[in-house]
Amino acid sequence: MKNQSVPLQRFLFFVIAVGCVVPPLFVTAVPPVFSTFPTVSLALAVGSGVLLAALHNVMPAHRWGAVRAAGPVPILVTCGVLCISAAVLEAAIAYGVITPSASPRIPDSGSAYGYAVLSYLCGALYEETLYRWYVPETLIRLLPTGVRTNGMHAAVEATAVVLFAAAHRYIGAAAVVHATCAGCALRWCFLKTHTIVPGIVIHAVYNCTLFALFVYASA
């Protein structure tokens, strides 16, 4: 894969864009409560793992030496941004500034709780792989050498964040705003640490924590 041709890269990007990036943009309703095994989420997570392994030599998704050099600051800052963003949006919702168009649904059985957690874990792996690594890194690689300016790089970064945020629009405006903040913070974390592993962990823990808090508040 080290000598992967540009036409092959473009074809692979087109296939992944059509199959994984575009469909979430047209979701208009909250998925059903977690009553069945999350087969689709698991399949997407496995596919993400395969993509990471297949393209590792072309676009490394993790460099542990860089992680140690970066230290804990990027990870701590990213966690802080996500928490502050969530708190501000929750306050805005509480005071009626923003009205969410959808609310999470409480699982109705023990297995449903397990399915929910598994779905959140798989979603973190899938979304970090797609939006924080594959989409922006591939678009940057596909830019002609003559147009690889700071402005074009910024446009690519913005595109990845907008796609991630738009994929959450079915939940409402609050989710889109929060996804925009989270997307920026998690991508920054990747650029500073040169690995998507912290982002996956942060994303998964954050989603599961919010889910646990929602369940606790609804009890």
Which residues have a Cβ under 8 Å from the Cβ of 57 and sit 6 or more positions away? 1, 2
Which residues have a Cβ under 8 Å from the Cβ of 177 and sit 6 or more positions away? 85, 89, 98, 165
Give the model confidence (pLDDT) of 29-84 as tens digits.
Answer: 776 667 789 999 999 999 999 999 888 887 888 776 766 777 899 999 999 999 99
Give the model confidence (pLDDT) of 106-161 as tens digits.
Answer: 888 889 899 999 999 999 999 999 999 999 999 999 988 888 888 999 999 999 99
Which residues have a Cβ under 8 Å from the Cβ of 131 and sit 6 or more positions away? 160, 161, 163, 164, 183, 187
Nearest to 190 by CA among 25, 43, 59: 59
CA torsion through residues 149, 154, 155, 156, sign: positive
pLDDT band at 100 (very low <50, low <70, confident <90, very high): low
